[in-house]
Amino acid sequence: MNVQIQTVHFDADSKLLDLVNTKIEKLQTFHDRIVGVEVYLKLDALSQQVKDKVAEIKVHVPKHSFFVKHASKTFEESFALAFESMVNQVKRQKQKLAEVA
């Protein structure tokens, strides 16, 4: 499984990158044919002076791709919410494949 983590408009510390890598490794327990994962951590400046932390996750499996995006006040919270949604999507797709077979 190929994992790419990109940070936009900031430099992530090793603690955040370790958290992301640890969670992403757990995705393999939900789907065994994951080809690649892309994680984007972005610092979005809105029209006000409030900065939102955005986490985007793309997961590629044969013949399908999943995408999730969440924003909140911390990267950890954004990533946790996005990861939870991604797990649900991957589980649903796996169930559909099991029902067809």
| pLDDT tens, residue by residue, 54-83 | 999 999 998 899 999 999 999 999 999 999
What domain range includes position 57? 2-100
Distance CA 67, CA 58 (A): 5
Tell me: pLDDT of 86 over 60. Answer: yes
* Rounded Cα–Cα distance for residues 29 and 6 (Å): 23
Residue 25: pLDDT band with limits 50, 70, 90: very high
The pLDDT of residue 29 is 92
Residue 49 has pLDDT above 70, yes or no: no
Task: Give the domain CATH number at 16.
Answer: 3.30.160.100
Q: Given pLDDT bands bounded at 50, 70 and 90, which one contains residue 51?
A: low
Question: How many distinct structural domains can be found in the chain?
Answer: 1
**Nearest-angstrom CA–CA distance, 60 and 62:** 7
